[in-house]
Structure 1
């Protein structure tokens, strides 16, 4: 499943805007990124997509299920009503009606909302949404291992980790439960922990737990035949869904490995970081945020694709608001590439304030939002962060006052005004670090000018 385009009518700050999403002919990756100042509508686009997709999930669960309505306070101030139109491409839908005269893999539906006491301006039309959901329900009826598309929205308020030591309310983890809270809550780490613990209990029943294996390794060493045989037995009993989660986390965070639940002497979730076992709560906020986000995507893919040998190859749509949240710049730089590599058949729609997210991945589709207007940007691949800050995000690369004074210094040097230049240089030298690059350049230029005048 893939979104081809979304059209917003009087939603958030937008009048009418049509937004194609990657992959496109020009941008073959499966990543679309929105940039822009706060309040320009980035989150409104993701929320509109989540609202529209919620109706598919609802009608997949039950034939006449209701998704989320458009909130009235989302309607553009001057308008009486709003509508969200979405175009979906889905191969299962095409296969399901291949005997019809014209095969189509495109499904279009509209969600509309009118202000109270106003005349209707738009009308909802969910026929294609219902039709697509019916194809999946029919497929599930004939084969309960049919793969389902992941649909998930991770808002800014997705942080993060609240690990319950006691599970008071038990949940089911059937295939359709992969959609639970997928569009409303972001990372549900309590549910993640409960799911992980239950799957690991089953895994340990058919194999050997990591704790026991560690004790045997300490007793017999890693070269003994006994330990090697036990290691092989443990590997053969690995749970496929847990393996998918562990693999995804390791792809994103190579220094992290072997996520597991410790049960004695107390219950906690553990992970090995650079070979050292840590309680997950000991990780930094950025590490916890990324681990929880990636783990949740992998968990949902594993639940929705029970027959796939590698659930990470399942398809779907993932919406992430402020994807750079809490992440170190080095992680921001590789984020899109790792999303594509780890979840190759998922379509990602992201927002960001980071120039590194859009300058270090080829073929991503980037839009900039300004005053309710949307503009597609040329590829930023290979651009340095300062160029993206200046040209795309309209942000100075340094403090504006310092930037102005540095320009005054360079102007004084160029105008052959050494007295003023020396005064400005002395003032800036007292405030800025000795290794400030622009100061070093200015000193060299001033020295060259002095030598040139001395020779004359």
Structure 2
């Protein structure tokens, strides 16, 4: 399932805005990125998508469910009403075959409109949810026939997703039904508390299942050893002339075998929860230095993780590490819940919206973030916003839009561009402090005008303000030296 097109009417700063989302044409890349200054409307686009998709989620959960309405304050100033049109593609049968009579690829498109008028005003738009209803009915029909049929994940991660606390004391009993994967998935601030509580609940179940497996294994092995012991006893009693040293060696060997079978357990034999494995795999894929994620119960209850071989409380991680761990873990958790029959739940279908995807992340993670999202969740469509030039210059074939002046512009591929170029060309941001930049420009102008003494004086003042190793300072010194040589030669 994919959102193909979104159209906004009188929403936020936009009179009318239509945008196509990835994948487009022959490109299989499933990531759309919006960049722009604060207040340009990037978040409005994501929230509009979340508002529209909430109607699909609501009607999957219940036949006549209601999604989220457009907030009145979102309607553009001076306008009486607003609307959001969405066009979703879902291939419900075989791939489109132009030779198949009566079948059209149009049958796989599900449009619907969400409209809202200001209180006491007549609206020019009308809500129409037939597409959401029809698509939801397809999923409901699948679940009726097979209660383990997959559902698409639909989730919005806003800027309010900061992880402040990691609670492990479960205050309320939660259910783990398939549809619970939609619990608060489109709310303003995703509740990461639920992720950590879920992790503990699933690990408790996993530990209990492993305990039962071991009990059954011990019972089976005990019976097997009893039979062996009986045979040895009979064997010992019947052959009186057997060399005692040989018999003793035989008994010691059997004892060693028994001990070995009790103590050595192959890792692949251990019971592992499929959903927990999906979460562990996703987090370790993003952050290879983090392994063995678990709930430590003694000496105190906490979530633990091994970082570069050292055991740490998750609260000891940086804010960026905790935020990324919780984000990736929550996506994986929901996919695992909604795809109970998939061997690898991370290959489940979904539409994931992330505002300020680079928030709290080290530049090294910003560079690999989009590639890791694609690799870890290959069947999900991502729509994200960012302020980071590293995010949009280090991933091939992503669809990037610049939001500016109530319009959007599709940008050419920025893959391979250096961060400074992206800052200057796309984000209209200087690569250094404006005051320092102006002083450097003054130095260049003084050198061009052969005013060497003024250039040296300004350069000396600037050296007291910024690092002596600054490349631009070294460049200015070299230019002054060359200019002095030129002036001496001319004289």
TM range (shorter): over 0.9
Q: Which whole-Å CA distance do the structure 2 matches of 1:91 and 1:83 have between them? A: 26
- Verify the 8 A CA contact 1:159 1:187 in the aligned structure 2: no
Alpha carbons of structure 1 residues 13 and 317: separation in structure 2 relative to 1, 3 Å: same
Alpha carbons of structure 1 residues 277 and 195: separation in structure 2 relative to 1, 3 Å: same
- In structure 1, the partner of 2:450 is 416
Deviations along 1:233-290, whole A, 9 cap, x unmatched?
A: 32xx111111110011011111001111112222211111111111111111110000
- Verify the 8 A CA contact 1:208 1:233 in the aligned structure 2: no
Q: Which whole-Å CA distance do the structure 1 matches of 2:377 and 2:193 have between them? A: 23
> In the alignment, which of 404, 427, 431 is matched to residue 393 of structure 1?
427
> How do residues 270-349 of structure 1 correspond to structure 2 at under 5 angstroms?
270-349=304-383
> In the alignment, which of 135, 139, 144 is matched to residue 136 of structure 1?
139
- Aligned residue for 2:334, secondary structure, equals helix
- In structure 2, the partner of 1:58 is 58
- Verify the 8 A CA contact 2:358 2:387 in the aligned structure 1: yes
Q: Which whole-Å CA distance do the structure 1 matches of 2:209 and 2:266 have between them? A: 12
Q: Which whole-Å CA distance do the structure 2 matches of 1:93 and 1:79 have between them? A: 42
Q: Which whole-Å CA distance do the structure 2 matches of 1:282 and 1:366 have between them? A: 35
Q: Which whole-Å CA distance do the structure 2 matches of 1:84 and 1:227 have between them? A: 62
Q: Which whole-Å CA distance do the structure 2 matches of 1:418 and 1:226 have between them? A: 85
Give aligned pairs, total: 439
> How do residues 133-172 of structure 1 correspond to structure 2 at under 5 angstroms?
133-172=136-175
Q: Which whole-Å CA distance do the structure 2 matches of 1:441 and 1:169 have between them? A: 64
Q: Which whole-Å CA distance do the structure 2 matches of 1:208 and 1:435 have between them? A: 62
- Verify the 8 A CA contact 1:162 1:189 in the aligned structure 2: no
- Verify the 8 A CA contact 1:55 1:65 in the aligned structure 2: yes
- Verify the 8 A CA contact 2:10 2:79 in the aligned structure 1: yes
Deviations along 1:17-48, whole A, 9 cap, x unmatched?
A: 10101111275411111111111111111110
State the Cα distance separating 1:57 from its structure 2 match: 0.5
State the Cα distance separating 1:170 from its structure 2 match: 0.5
Larger radius of gyration: 2
Q: Structure 1 stretches of 5 or more lacking a match?
A: 210-223
Q: Which whole-Å CA distance do the structure 2 matches of 1:225 and 1:440 have between them? A: 71
Q: Structure 2 stretches of 5 or more lacking a match?
A: 213-259
State the Cα distance separating 1:428 from its structure 2 match: 1.2
Q: Which whole-Å CA distance do the structure 2 matches of 1:410 and 1:302 have between them? A: 60
Q: Which whole-Å CA distance do the structure 2 matches of 1:240 and 1:186 have between them? A: 27
- Aligned residue for 2:14, secondary structure, equals coil
- In structure 2, the partner of 1:220 is none
- Aligned residue for 2:155, secondary structure, equals strand
Deviations along 1:423-454, whole A, 9 cap, x unmatched?
A: 22112112121101100011111112223444
1:181 aligns with 2:217: no
Alpha carbons of structure 1 residues 429 and 265: separation in structure 2 relative to 1, 3 Å: closer
- Verify the 8 A CA contact 2:169 2:197 in the aligned structure 1: no
- In structure 1, the partner of 2:90 is 90
Deviations along 1:204-249, whole A, 9 cap, x unmatched?
A: 123269xxxxxxxxxxxxxx88665253432xx1111111100110
> In the alignment, which of 250, 265, 274 is matched to residue 240 of structure 1?
274
Q: Which whole-Å CA distance do the structure 2 matches of 1:455 and 1:249 have between them? A: 66
Q: Which whole-Å CA distance do the structure 1 matches of 2:434 and 2:303 have between them? A: 46
Q: Which whole-Å CA distance do the structure 2 matches of 1:395 and 1:227 have between them? A: 63
- Aligned residue for 1:394, secondary structure, equals coil
State the Cα distance separating 1:78 from its structure 2 match: 1.3
- Verify the 8 A CA contact 2:161 2:192 in the aligned structure 1: no
Q: Which whole-Å CA distance do the structure 2 matches of 1:88 and 1:433 have between them? A: 54
- Aligned residue for 1:257, secondary structure, equals strand
Alpha carbons of structure 1 residues 186 and 302: separation in structure 2 relative to 1, 3 Å: farther
Q: Which whole-Å CA distance do the structure 2 matches of 1:287 and 1:118 have between them? A: 48
1:439 aligns with 2:473: yes
Deviations along 1:169-201, whole A, 9 cap, x unmatched?
A: 111011000000000054422211222112112
Moved more, 249-258 or 421-430: 421-430
- In structure 2, the partner of 1:125 is 128
Length-normalised TM-score, structure 2: 0.86
